[in-house]
Structure 1
């Protein structure tokens, strides 16, 4: 069945980017009526004499266009009522510029490619430089795509500003690479309980049984065992934007975010069932 919808920062010069963002691109996923169609109807053929209609939800698509940022660290934020909120501070280097617009006619799906973090020319390969020069934008280290339902209002070279896409109180999904912990045991990696530490015990921090004997005579795939921990891509969903500081060019997001300071983060509108994702 085909599925077709499946610490110093630089500031860009006005001549390199277009800073105007249309109002249609603002994050409106918490409104009562979604700004884009949520489902697609595709005929599902089960046999020659009977046909059904299958409603497909494109779960791989974003609820809206997002931006990339750099993790700066964590701090404590005091709300006006005195409530203490742990937040992660995210800064923005030069970038968040639209470098390519992919359409269903040319690439098989609709997406917006965004570049982030300016670098020197010699840091990129010739194919990467050719791709960015064709778009007429500055050299950037990171390129990521945001798959969308519609591409109205986007143009190559357009600058995406966080304060125009989001506002305080919005919920976002943040993706990043977690801190690598190296090779770890079952207790730290999978939160296993340890054995008795008293004299005579021969199983202090060992796993215990990892399977039966002659039948099946092997260890099942997926068994939780010691191994490499961390260093993987993770998404933390439905985090609240606590504060947006335009003067310092930072945003404070409630809770902890993946990675250590200096890590690349991808921030997109949160997918909320019943709001921008229909209930199954």
Structure 2
């Protein structure tokens, strides 16, 4: 398989590294296309056996799969700059937030489109990606796409494309919510007199341990909370403050606003 990636930014390059790491593609069959001339040399050094180009250089694209990894706000500009035409047998995989399959098909004048929403832990091969496909894409073609996506972590196929905006808000943006909470906890530690690096250690290890406990326990989240929050204790005092300030509702509202923004990106 030959793969071209339009938009060799963080996500495009992390996909490339995963494909090469698991030998799903040969380096010489990978074509990285960047809008940013200043990044050309660095990408060429990082992927010495792959072809690296700028958008202006590409007059014809020899690839079985074309991954669109540009920012959704830049998609129209990229379409205007493209100088090549897509061939009938070429597949397109979009990892842009918010841009629907129908719009991609229309702007590229090409029917074979799969839409996916990964998240930043794909950089470590620990991401999760929701994906869906246009009508007319075969089961075997989807299996090939899934193999590629699974090299970056896990993937989940969704019949309903509308759910992808929710996936964008939940897991696509989700790492930032996690970091936000971790940051608040670290700052609370510092305010209590704990040195910052030590506060970071306590919080990060607590988050890591809590994740594994949650993942390996048969108890639900409510029960796990009760295990920690004894009557009249310290945890109960914190949880009571969270409830008084509607922390859960505020967090939920933020996630729903992220979904709303994802829908707006389609224009």
TM-score (norm 2): 0.23
Q: Which has the higher contact order (CA 8 A, sep 6+)?
A: 1
Richer in strand (by share): 1
